[in-house]
Amino acid sequence: MNWTRGRTIGRGSTATVSIATTADNAGHVFAVKSSELSKSESLRREQGILSTLSCPEIVAYKGFDITSENGKLLYNLFMEYAPRGTIMDAIQKQQGGLDETMVRSYTRTILLGLQFLHSSGIVHCDIKGQNILVTDDGVKIADLGCARSVTATAACTVAGTPVYMAPEVARGEQQGFPADVWALGCTVIEMATGKSPWPDVRDPVSALYRIGFSSDVPEIPSNISKQGKDFLTKCLKRDPVERLSVNELLEHEFITESKCPVKDQLDSPNSVLQQQLLWDSMEELETIQVPSTNKSVMERIRQLALW
């Protein structure tokens, strides 16, 4: 496919996201996520997973390409373009939390996407507002760069964003389906309050230690309904065995009373500046991937923090 790269709309530590168009007369618009070929392991893993999936609640795969640009070989992953940005962009535009009706609807859609992934034996490993795209009809799960088969998680890297990590992940013990449920709970708090699930934690070491080794859980928002509070309590059990599954959460009254999709009233971001993330400067919002080892707990935390 011949295509033309447009402006950059997102940037991470190893990849950038740009708008692109096909070079034919149709000029179809799509998103392209690019990284240097030598640093594209995560992007290639994402391509391998996305190319096997077809789910309306997950961003659609459009192909891939390797290009030479400015003297560098780039690996390019093509995906559908969501002009409204991410949930974090929506929070920034609202300058605070989203309406609970919208939170319920978005949460239900995320659960449906997770249900599809989990039924396919895949753990997302990095659910957060930054990785949920807003469309005209709702939301879609994106960024599967950390995702992997549940059978491979025991021997693979620990991945995700520290403030969304479940306790067992922060300790390096396991990263199964319940870890996605914990991260979903953190994301619901993010949507409801417009804040990090751990607003008083400012660095990865503090986040990992508190999440992994204290008895704390994120504070349940006071501005959410009784149903929402109960839903979050079911997601944020420190023991993964005690958390509800995505199938069980889909039957929770916080979800069942919001089956009608919510039409997002937010305007589409119209500039690169508007599409920047609310907490770009916060280190704990960076996704990390570190191989599991036999190192001590504190050595692992230091390794994660320095990644």
The pLDDT of residue 44 is 96
Catalytic residue chosen out of the listed positions 24, 65, 99, 126: 126
CA atoms within 13 A on the CB side of 95: 0
Terminal Cα-to-Cα distance of the chain (whole angstroms): 36
Best CA proximity match to 238, nearest among 170, 187, 146: 170
The pLDDT of residue 274 is 38
The pLDDT of residue 26 is 86
The pLDDT of residue 46 is 96
What the block records as the tokens of 215 is 């008895």
Task: Supply the CATH classification number for the domain 3-79.
Answer: 3.30.200.20
Q: Domain residue spans in the chain? A: 3-79, 87-306
Q: What are the CA-CA distances from residue 9 to residues 33, 89, 208, 210, 270 (Å)?
A: 10, 12, 30, 33, 10
What the block records as the tokens of 102 is 């919208």
Domain at 87-306, CATH from 2.40.50.140, 1.10.510.10, 3.90.180.10, 1.10.10.60: 1.10.510.10
Query: Helices 100-119 and 177-193, interaxial angle, to 10°?
Result: 160
- What is the C-alpha radius of gyration for the chain, rounded to an integer number of angstroms? 19
**273 close to 83: Cβ distance less than 8 angstroms:** no
Q: Which residues of the chain fall below pLDDT 70?
A: 152-157, 258-307
How far apart (Å, rounded) are the C-alpha atoms in residues 259 and 249?
A: 13
The pLDDT of residue 159 is 80
The pLDDT of residue 57 is 98
Question: Where is the binding site, in residues?
Answer: 33
The pLDDT of residue 157 is 63
The pLDDT of residue 270 is 40
Please report, to the nearest 10 degrees, the dihedral formed by the alpha carbons of residues 208, 212, 214, 218 taken in order: 70
The pLDDT of residue 72 is 95
Q: What pTM does this model have?
A: 0.87
The pLDDT of residue 273 is 33
The pLDDT of residue 12 is 80
Q: What are the CA-CA distances from residue 80 to residues 25, 33, 71 (Å)?
A: 18, 11, 27
Best CA proximity match to 35, nearest among 1, 62, 73: 73
Reply yes or no on whether 267 is catalytic. Answer: no
Question: Where is the binding site for ATP, in residues?
Answer: 33
